Structure 1
Amino acid sequence: MAAIIKPIRPTGSNQPEPQALFGKQTKAIVVTTGMLAFISFWRASAIVLCDLASTAYYIGGIVEQACGRSAPYFILAVMLFSYAVRAVYVESCSMFTRGGVYRVVKEAMGSTLAKISVSALMFDYILTGPISGVSAGQYLVGLINELLKLAHSGIILPADFSAAFFAIAVTAYFWRQNILGIEESSGKAMRIMQVTTVMAVIMIAWCGLTIFMRGAHLPPFELKFTDDSLGWLKHFPGARTIGTLGILIAFGHSILAMSGEESLAQINREIEAPKLKNLLRTGLVIFIYSLLLTSLVSFFAVMIIPDSVRMANYGGDLIGGLAMFMVGPLWARLALRAFVVFVGFLILAGAVNTAIVGSTGVLTRVAEDGVLLDWFRHPHKKYGTNYRIVNMVAMLQIATIVLSRGDMFLLGEAYAFGVIWSFVFKTLSVLILRYKDQYHRLWRMPLNLTWFRPGGKDFPLGLTLTFAVLLATAVINLFTKQVATISGISFTLALFLIFEISEKVNGQAQHAYG
């Protein structure tokens, strides 16, 4: 809010007007944040969950394809571990206005590693759109084929091809909307999560009734890896057993269940006061919601859908398949499945848009730091948006969909690369910043040993353990996820080289004009 302050002449004064004294009127502009609109922790939670909770639609099938019927246990373990990772983000946000990966890594380890970390993060963002769009397409195609089957039609839509076509159409739609300048609204996110919550409550209650009436057993805790899910470790002793190595491999295949954590750092600035208290509340709401929805859906799917048809018919459409095997009349199960598809379209399509918005935001901030050519920042002549960055992101996402041919499992394998390495760089940076006195934080991740003080500092046991688990998982994933390793490293190096070249070109231009 800007206010104009004018000098006021006292009542009854014989002094001349201010214009006569000073020649012209003096004006002062006071800039305040009084008119800025901040959001509650409920709305902040909804924005993050629109990205994070979407994984519930596809994570169960991807992890079971990799390690067998014990997948729900590892998804549960990842969702519990996500609270520790979220605590890392909360601590970083208590140090900076934004606690994103690029800013934190740059402060801790310098610009080179910051550019590498943001390159890995961009690989995550680029894949978020395709995997969400293809997942939404799989659910829609599954419902259409179910209805065609009930109508005794001989037409069956090819699942992967149709899902890829749908994902491209959704990506193209949101590309256009972002060129026009789509309005980001916490209210929209709140309504989407309200509808998703209704669906989740109905699903959980109906699954509970089904298990009560039919009976069911918890899935066995066993590991059944395929050669593809073991990658270069398929001949390594101990990789297929329930030991440290086998558990780490299965945990690594489940890690993408907590993708979307970076959204918490990006929304931090918009949270209303008291900011830190509401940020902690946001993290708790996200944890409880995603833990219940993602974990329970995975357990119910294995317990209710028969093994003979679960992965063969519903691998990419797990919640839709779950709806069809509930107790109750067929019309009610079809109605539930249609509702699941409707909610899935809302949340997964929203994740496609979030991926474009997030990618554009990250690259814009990098460009503002002189690491990306100024050419990318040129606004659209009519709409004023960063259309060149939006164009690049959309083209990369569409290319990813085309190359994957709508294969959810291939996308899921590649997706985990950017997720895990961005977490590794982030956690290591926050750990390093613990030993730099100038970085004050209002809150620290728990488990700090005050009795062990090397150099006069508390030993951050919680941060250290979190980093150790993330690093071990990331290294294991390098050897088990061949597609992710090759494509992820190639993409990261290519984008890093673009950053390096751009920074040098920008530096030369500044020197020439300086």
Structure 2
Amino acid sequence: MLSFISFWRAAAIVLNDLASSAYYAGGIAEKAIGKAAPWFILAIMLFSYAVRAIYIESCSMFVRGGVYRVVKEAMGSTMAKFSVSALMFDYILTGPISGVSAGQYLAGFLNDLFRYAHLSLVLPANLTAAVFAVLVTLYFWWINIKGISLGSEKALRIVYVTTVMVVLLIGWCVYTVSVRGAQLPPWPLPRNLQFSPDALGWLRGSRLPYTVGLVGIFIALGHSVLAMSGEETLAQVYREIEHPKLRNLKKAGFVIFIYSLVFTSLVSFFAVMIIPDQVRRNYFDNL
């Protein structure tokens, strides 16, 4: 029997992939480009609305044969293989990263509890994160093979819990800023960018990113683009959305945009505004 999902459930599935980037995108970007990173995260989240519009338009088109056949007919079998490989890599990229990031949070939380309970037990953060990521990946694989209706229900429940946490987190941050005061991150100008050696790639040792401001800005945006990773899930859930499909897809896209814009960008801003520099740099892996 065929079953379809509401736009709320479709949005929940995408947000489980997209919104998880909020927990580590800011730290990765700041490690690469410096304290101005939240502005570039915000720019990427605004840009994601245009990307989402392209996904919505492409979903309304019927493409016969899928990615491999279309690219093969247009550019040959070699490029088709590269395209499919890149697409598969993109599909599986954020899941393990999000699982490891969540595992690091869990290990830190449990170690804090053990310390407050005066227990001498300390969990290795990296090993705990890896084991947790494997277990979570296997669990969601088991859920997904049962059908998208059950998977979307689980995703919606996760978003419920996450939304409560987001409201508490943002509310607590606003209260902290109102009591202690804070300054906005440095403006997204070329002179405020502090590239790490690894961030420049083959431009390492070159003055080009500093002398040509546009080059530095593009490099900074490139290191922030992970914040919108997960958009491709929108195309995967389109065929499962209930009628009218396109209208419900647009509703789901708008819900995703507002949620991810508020959550991802505000988390990045508050991290820089509240956490001292000497403390924050120790948590770039899961900030």
When normalised by structure 2's length, the TM-score is: 0.88
Q: Which has the higher contact order (CA 8 A, sep 6+)?
A: 2
- The alignment status of 1:284 with 2:257, answered yes or no, reads no
Pick the aligned partner of 1:142 from 104, 108, 112: 108
Cα distance change of structure 1 residues 87 and 181 upon mapping to structure 2, 3 Å threshold: closer
Pick the aligned partner of 1:194 from 143, 147, 160: 160
Q: Return the alpha-carbon distance in structure 2 between the equivalents of residues 212 and 99 of structure 1.
A: 56
**Structure 1 residues 69-468: aligned runs within 5 Å:** 69-96=35-62, 102=68, 105=71, 109=75, 112-153=78-119, 155-174=121-140, 177=142, 181-184=145-148, 185=150, 186-221=152-187, 222-240=192-210, 243-312=213-282, 314-318=283-287
TM-superposed CA distance for 1:147, in Å, is 2.2
TM-superposed CA distance for 1:39, in Å, is 1.9
TM-superposed CA distance for 1:281, in Å, is 1.5
Please give the per-residue CA displacement for 1:203-259, whole angstroms capped at 9, x wherever unaligned.
111211111111111011321111111122111223246711111111111111111
> Structure 1: which 5+ runs fail to align?
1-34, 319-514
Q: Return the alpha-carbon distance in structure 2 between the equivalents of residues 62 and 166 of structure 1.
A: 21
TM-superposed CA distance for 1:297, in Å, is 0.5
Please give the per-residue CA displacement for 1:94-120, whole angstroms capped at 9, x wherever unaligned.
112799755764676565433321111
Q: Return the alpha-carbon distance in structure 1 between the equivalents of residues 11 and 238 of structure 2.
A: 11
SS in structure 1 of the partner of residue 285 of structure 2: coil
Cα distance change of structure 1 residues 76 and 115 upon mapping to structure 2, 3 Å threshold: same
SS in structure 2 of the partner of residue 52 of structure 1: helix
Please give the per-residue CA displacement for 1:6-59, whole angstroms capped at 9, x wherever unaligned.
xxxxxxxxxxxxxxxxxxxxxxxxxxxxx6322221111111111111111111
Cα distance change of structure 1 residues 170 and 50 upon mapping to structure 2, 3 Å threshold: closer
Contact 2:17–2:95 (Cα < 8 Å) also in 1: no
SS in structure 2 of the partner of residue 244 of structure 1: helix
Q: Return the alpha-carbon distance in structure 1 between the equivalents of residues 178 and 65 of structure 2.
A: 45
Contact 1:216–1:304 (Cα < 8 Å) also in 2: yes
Q: Return the alpha-carbon distance in structure 2 between the equivalents of residues 200 and 284 of structure 1.
A: 18
Contact 2:107–2:125 (Cα < 8 Å) also in 1: yes
Q: Which has the larger radius of gyration?
A: 1
Please give the per-residue CA displacement for 1:413-435, whole angstroms capped at 9, x wherever unaligned.
xxxxxxxxxxxxxxxxxxxxxxx
Cα distance change of structure 1 residues 126 and 277 upon mapping to structure 2, 3 Å threshold: closer
User: Which residue identity lines up with residue 214 of structure 1 in the other structure?
Assistant: R
User: Which residue identity lines up with residue 233 of structure 2 in the other structure?
Assistant: S
Contact 2:11–2:256 (Cα < 8 Å) also in 1: yes
Q: Return the alpha-carbon distance in structure 1 between the equivalents of residues 139 and 89 of structure 2.
A: 21
The size of the alignment, in residue pairs, is 281
Identity of aligned residues (%): 67
When normalised by structure 1's length, the TM-score is: 0.51
User: Which residue identity lines up with residue 288 of structure 1 in the other structure?
Assistant: I
Q: Return the alpha-carbon distance in structure 2 between the equivalents of residues 135 and 98 of structure 1.
A: 38
Q: Give the aligned partner of residue 451 of structure 1.
A: none
User: Which residue identity lines up with residue 267 of structure 2 in the other structure?
Assistant: V
Please give the per-residue CA displacement for 1:174-221, whole angstroms capped at 9, x wherever unaligned.
55x27x943432222212112111111111112111111111110113
Q: Return the alpha-carbon distance in structure 1 between the equivalents of residues 254 and 262 of structure 2.
A: 12
> Structure 2: which 5+ runs fail to align?
none
User: Which residue identity lines up with residue 284 of structure 2 in the other structure?
Assistant: G
Q: Return the alpha-carbon distance in structure 2 between the equivalents of residues 249 and 199 of structure 1.
A: 32
User: Which residue identity lines up with residue 251 of structure 1 in the other structure?
Assistant: L
Q: Give the aligned partner of residue 379 of structure 1.
A: none
Q: Return the alpha-carbon distance in structure 1 between the equivalents of residues 75 and 61 of structure 2.
A: 16
Q: Return the alpha-carbon distance in structure 1 between the equivalents of residues 18 and 258 of structure 2.
A: 12
Pick the aligned partner of 1:53 from 19, 25, 29: 19
Cα distance change of structure 1 residues 240 and 148 upon mapping to structure 2, 3 Å threshold: farther
